[in-house]
Amino acid sequence: MGCKCENNCADQKVQELIEIIDKHKGKKGALIPVLHDAQNLYGYLPLQVQKIISERMNIPLAEIYGVVTFYTQFSLNQKGKYQIRVCLGTACYVKGSGKIYEELKKELKLSGDGTTEDGLFSLESCRCIGACGLAPVIMINDDVYGELVPADVPDIIKKYRDRK
């Protein structure tokens, strides 16, 4: 869970973020390395982090957000302990991965990509992950699950919940 801004740990992180920015500031193409280090610090790049970068580097927030969403290496969402990736690539989509995604949303009580309230799971839809032979495919951290039907979803999730 994230900290509240009044808490010292948050202040300390902001301090570190500012140091990161100042280290790169002024150099050409500084934005990408700053975003990189900021993501390492926070694990993701939420509005408040991008806002601080925007103000301190004097780059409009819209531009920063455009860069963050263009490169797949950056993430807007906090990652859960178990990161679920659902392939919505063509092969998987044709074989019904959309329904798997819907089922996962239901099971995790999410309205789309995002992280569960307890921080245990994060859900992310993605493009082809190179396992089309097993379509439809999902990955949970490094585990691959293929040839799924929506009814498989609750059991899979339960397995991880029980592990905690």
Partner 1 sequence: MSKMVTLTIDGIEVKAPEGSTVLEAAKLANIKIPTLCYLKGINEIGACRICVVDVGVKNLQASCVYPVAEGMKVITNSPKVREARRVTLELILSNHDRKCLTCVRSENCELQRLAKDLQVDDIRFEGKKNDYNIDDFSDSVVRDPNKCILCRRCTSVCKNIQTVSAIETNERGFDTIVASPFNISLKDTPCVNCGQCINVCPVGALREKDNIDKVWEAIADPDLHVVVQTAPAVRVAIGEEFGLPIGTRCTGKMVAALKRLGFDKVFDTDTAADLTIMEEGTELIERIKNGGKLPLITSCSPGWIKFIEHNYPDLLDNLSTCKSPQIMFGAILKTYYAEKMGIDPAKIFVVSVMPCTAKKFEVKRPELSATGYPDVDVSITTREAARMIKEAGIDFNSLPDENFDDPMGDASGAGVIFGATGGVMEAALRTVVDILTGKDNDDIEYKAVRGLDGIKVAEVKAGDLTLRAAVAHGLGNARKIMDQIRSGEADYHFVEIMACPGGCVNGGGQPIQPAAVRNEIDICAERAKAIYTEDENIQIRKSHKNERIMKLYEEFLEKPGSHKAHELLHTHYEERENYPEECCGNI
Q: Which parts of this chain interact with ligand FES (CB under 6 A)?
A: 87, 89-92, 128-132, 135, 137
Q: How many residues bind partner 1 (CB under 8 A)?
A: 28
Pick the closer one to partner 1 by CB: 39 or 78: 78
Coil/strand/helix, residue 43: coil
Q: Order of strands across the sheet with 138-140?
A: 114-115, 121-126, 82-87, 138-140, 143-145
Pick the closer one to ligand FES by CB: 26 or 130: 130
Q: How far is the CB of 55 from partner 1 (least distance, A)?
A: 8
Please confirm whether the linkage preceding 136 is cis (ω < 30° from 0).
yes
Binding of partner 1 by 40 (CB under 8 A): no
Q: Binders of partner 1 among 104-143, rule CB under 8 A?
A: 127
At 86, which helix (H) or strand (E)?
strand 82-87
CA torsion, ordered 150, 89, 122, 153, to nearest 10 deg = 10
- The residues of the shown chain that bind partner 1, judged by CB under 8 A, are 2-5, 10, 13-14, 42, 46-51, 54-55, 60-66, 69-70, 76, 78, 127
